[in-house]
């Protein structure tokens, strides 16, 4: 039987994080895997850690998407400026 209080053993958390992130190819792929795992994990400390990891991945994906959009906009502006008469 699992204890009601979450286990905050650092070794357990590191092991869980390692298992969750092993062999990921992209942030989007990691997020998709974590979201599918989330539904199958019962409430407890692992689910709480997974919730935090999901939120961090969502924020990182959004941040990188914003940087990519900004770089693309700068590239297009540079092209427009170089074509000005």
pLDDT tens by residue, 28-50 = 888 888 888 888 888 888 888 88
DSSP tag of 19: H
- Mean pLDDT of the residues in the chain: 77
Question: What six digits make up the tokens of 15?
Answer: 């092991």
Task: State the pLDDT confidence band at 2, using cuts at 50, 70 and 90.
Answer: very low
pLDDT, average across residues 14-38: 76
Per-residue confidence (pLDDT) for residue 78, from 0 to 100: 80
Q: Which residues contact 20 (CB under 8 A, 6 or more apart)?
A: 30, 33, 34, 37, 50, 53
Based on the number of CB atoms within 10 Å of its own CB, is 30 exposed (0-12), middle (13-18) or buried (19 or more)?
Answer: buried
pLDDT, average across residues 61-70: 87
Name the residue among 17, 60, 14, 53 with its Cα closest to residue 35: 53
């Amino acid at each position: 039987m699992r204890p009601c209080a979450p286990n905050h053993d650092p070794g357990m958390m590191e092991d869980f994080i390692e298992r969750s992130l092993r062999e990921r190819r992209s942030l989007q792929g990691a997020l998709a895997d974590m979201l599918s795992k989330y539904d199958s994990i019962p409430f407890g400390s692992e689910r709480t850690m997974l919730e935090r990891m999901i939120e961090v991945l969502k924020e990182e994906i959004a941040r990188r998407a914003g940087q990519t959009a900004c770089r693309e906009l700068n590239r297009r502006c540079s092209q427009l400026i170089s074509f000005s008469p």
